[in-house]
Structure 1
Amino acid sequence: MKIAFLTPEYPHPQVVSSAGIGTSIKNLVEALVKKNMKVTVFVYHQERNAILEEKGLTIHLIAKKPRRFFTWYFYRKQLQNYINAVVKTENISLLEAADWTGITAFMRLNIPLVIRFHGTDAYFCKLEHRKQKFKNFVLEKIALKKASAYISPTIFTKEETAKLFSLKPDKIKVVPNGIDLQNFKNETPTIFEAKTLLYVGTLIRKKGVLELAKIFNKIIEKEPLARLILIGSDTADVKTNTASTYKLMQDIFSDKAKEHTNYLGKIPYTEIVTHIKNAHVCIFPSFAETFGMVTVESMALQKPVINTNMGWASGIIDDGINGYLVHPTETKLYVESIIHLFNDENLCVKLGAAARRKAEHNFNIDTIANENINFYKNVISKS
């Protein structure tokens, strides 16, 4: 059995860019390769065509040919023809693709297609209470309806996506995203920079960063030595047509909060682990996610984490046991939870240890890879 992935991103020096989707796919790919499986990754929307060979892994970079009209359609047909040709020469058994904007719509593939719920545009529009472009919904629905089966990282994402697109729940397998726990070890969980808050993720409205600014304003009033570290790419804000979401955050920050905030921008992935270890508390007040890789990584590094109390997060954190769940708009409760952790080191250590156990039990990529393999085999056997 040889598996292929179709994705717009993948962490590799020769790939244009990558974020959470790419990281979760790479974690799985590396685990599959360790189990002696051959894997192919098709990365679209690249600047050039190239084939990269690595141990047990072949990466195809696929550039987009410019078209005068209907580029969205012809590029899908271009991808279809390319994939089908490689499927034949490499004897690939199954293709997994992401759901975002329905990249597989109008493709006629010669092997079973599994779509993993990284989050459709429709899903995020519903969570953010914003209107979706009709074309995006149509493309996503066509793509999803043509798939042989689906994988969802949480029960919440499964249920919401099934309702949005009228999918049969029994065709959706819930398998969480996983991490290589060997890469996320913290030998000194009691050593950290006191009263340091850490946020890792894109600076975008849907991730609750504007609420984070309000929260930190209150924190700095109660804890004058507190610090906030922000890591991630800045983005434009669609709602206000502002070029920088960080600029919107700065407009919210008090003068004291600005002095104690350090925005590092996008940094190498290896450096993020160090920042998580150094943090006192990790905070992710997002309004819209499907999973949240950095939450699991922080838990594995034995950090007390405060996440949103929305559906997907409850599949990761057990409130009060291995972290806290608080709605992003509940500023007062967020502040109280953070201050409580700042003033109780034993509680931080206790929550961190419980978080590590949860990560080991639920998000070990070795175990999760086996779940994926068994699911792939089942889909292939029924096709």
Structure 2
Amino acid sequence: MHIAFLTSEYPHKRVTHAAGIATSIKNLVVALSEKGVKASVFVYAQKEDAVFNEDKVKIHLIKKRSYKFMGWFWHRKYIEKYLNSYIVSESIDAVEAPDWTGITAFMRFKVPLIIRFHGSDAYFCKLDKRKQKFKNFLFEKWALKNASAYIAPTAFAGIETQKIFGLNKKKIKTIHYGLQLKDFKNETPLIYNRTTIIYIGTIIRKKGVLELAEIFNKVIESNPEAQLILIGNDSPDLKTGISSTYTLVKSLFSNEAKKNVNYLGKIPYSEVKNHIKNAHLCVFPSFAETLGMVTIESMALQKPVVNTSIGWAQELIDNGVNGFLVHPTDIDFYAQRILELLNDESMSGKVGIAAREKVEALFDIDKIADINIGYYKSIIE
């Protein structure tokens, strides 16, 4: 079996962008290749055209091209032609693509198309309570309607996407993202920086970063030694139009809190794991995710997590057992949960151990790859 993955991001130094989607794709394609399933990754909107192999996976970089008229259409048709040529020459059995922006709208492949719900613009707009551009909705709906089947990383993401676009429920299969657990081992779980709280993710309103500033202000009032580290790209704020969301976040910190905040910006992925290991706990007060890779990565490294209580997170964490779930707008209670963990190292350790056990049970990529293989076969046959 040979599966092609169409994506705009992938974790490689020659690729212009890589985030949670990129990590989830790489984890899967590497696991598939180790099980004898051939995987090719087609990364569009890049700075160059190139084809090379890494980790038994063939990677195609497709250079972004400019068109004088209807670029959104001709860009898709170019990708379609490129992919179809390799579908024939390399006997590709199916194409998997994301729902974001409806990239496969106006494309017709010679094999079945499977769309994974990494998170459409419509999905995020609904959760973030923002109005979506009608053109974006049409592209995404067109792309989804033309797919043979769908994969949702959480049941919540599947249900919400089905409602938004009126999809056939029977065509949606819930398959979690997974981790290479051997790459997420914490050999020294009792060695960490006490009172250090870490947030990892884009600095953007929908991730709850504005609420996080207010939460940390409350934490500092009770524990002046607490430290907050933020890691991730800054982004423009759609609501105010300013170019830096972190500027908004910074303005919300109290004078005392500001002294204990360290924003590192974007750092190499290899360094992120060390920051997680060194932290006392991790916080992810997001309003909009489909699953949240960094949550399960933190749990795998035996860190207690205070997450959002919205939909998808309830499938990752059993509240009070292997983490905590609190709505981002409940500032006082969110701060209280953080303080409980900071003040009770024994509880932090127990929650961290249980978090690792949860990841081993539900998010082991070796097991998840088998589920994907079975589903691909059902679509191809």
Normalising to structure 1: TM-score of the pair?
A: 0.98
> Superposition RMSD on alpha carbons, in Å?
0.7
1:356, distance to aligned residue in structure 2 (A): 0.4
Q: Which one-letter code corresponds to 2:58 in the other structure?
A: T
Q: Which one-letter code corresponds to 1:127 in the other structure?
A: L
Distance 1:56 1:258 in 2: 46
**Where do 4+ consecutive residues of structure 1 move more than 6 Å?**
none
**Would you say the 8 A contact 1:41–1:57 is kept in 2?**
yes
Distance 2:288 2:317 in 1: 16
For 1:311, the equivalent position in structure 2 comes to 311
Distance 1:138 1:37 in 2: 34
For 1:207, the equivalent position in structure 2 comes to 207
1:252, distance to aligned residue in structure 2 (A): 0.4
For 1:109, the equivalent position in structure 2 comes to 109
For 1:243, the equivalent position in structure 2 comes to 243
Distance 1:225 1:136 in 2: 46
1:237, distance to aligned residue in structure 2 (A): 0.5
Instruction: Note the alpha carbon deviations across 1:282-309, whole angstroms, 9 max, x for none.
Output: 0000000000000000101111100000
Distance 1:134 1:206 in 2: 20
**Would you say the 8 A contact 1:37–1:56 is kept in 2?**
no
Q: Aligned with 2:265: secondary structure? A: coil
**Would you say the 8 A contact 1:46–1:62 is kept in 2?**
yes
Q: Which one-letter code corresponds to 1:231 in the other structure?
A: I
1:55, distance to aligned residue in structure 2 (A): 4.7
Percent identical pairs in the alignment equals 58
**Would you say the 8 A contact 1:341–1:348 is kept in 2?**
yes
Q: Which one-letter code corresponds to 1:223 in the other structure?
A: N
For 1:231, the equivalent position in structure 2 comes to 231
1:69 aligns with 2:69: yes
1:339 aligns with 2:339: yes
Instruction: Note the alpha carbon deviations across 1:294-328, whole angstroms, 9 max, x for none.
Output: 00001011111000000010011111110000000
For 1:91, the equivalent position in structure 2 comes to 91
1:178, distance to aligned residue in structure 2 (A): 0.3
For 1:265, the equivalent position in structure 2 comes to 265
Distance 2:236 2:332 in 1: 28
1:169, distance to aligned residue in structure 2 (A): 1.0
Q: Aligned with 2:21: secondary structure? A: helix
Q: Aligned with 1:270: secondary structure? A: helix
Q: Which one-letter code corresponds to 1:307 in the other structure?
A: N
1:362 aligns with 2:367: no
For 1:159, the equivalent position in structure 2 comes to 159
Distance 1:211 1:108 in 2: 43
Change (3 A) 1:55 1:208: closer
Distance 2:48 2:187 in 1: 42
Structure 1: tracts of 5 or more residues without a match:
none
**Would you say the 8 A contact 2:189–2:302 is kept in 1?**
yes
Distance 1:263 1:311 in 2: 28
Aligned ranges 1:1-383 → 2 under 5 Å: 1-381=1-381
1:61, distance to aligned residue in structure 2 (A): 0.6
Distance 2:327 2:197 in 1: 17
Q: Aligned with 1:228: secondary structure? A: strand
Distance 1:325 1:262 in 2: 25
Q: Which one-letter code corresponds to 1:299 in the other structure?
A: M
Q: Aligned with 1:115: secondary structure? A: strand
**Would you say the 8 A contact 1:193–1:278 is kept in 2?**
yes
1:56, distance to aligned residue in structure 2 (A): 2.5
Distance 1:324 1:242 in 2: 33
**Would you say the 8 A contact 1:36–1:56 is kept in 2?**
no
Normalising to structure 2: TM-score of the pair?
A: 0.99
Distance 1:229 1:196 in 2: 7
Distance 1:319 1:380 in 2: 39
1:23, distance to aligned residue in structure 2 (A): 0.6
Distance 2:262 2:54 in 1: 38
**Greater mean deviation of Cα atoms: 361-370 or 335-344:** 335-344
Structure 2: tracts of 5 or more residues without a match:
none
Distance 1:5 1:147 in 2: 14
Q: Which one-letter code corresponds to 2:26 in the other structure?
A: K
1:170, distance to aligned residue in structure 2 (A): 1.1
Distance 1:379 1:88 in 2: 18
Q: Aligned with 2:262: secondary structure? A: strand
Q: Aligned with 1:21: secondary structure? A: helix
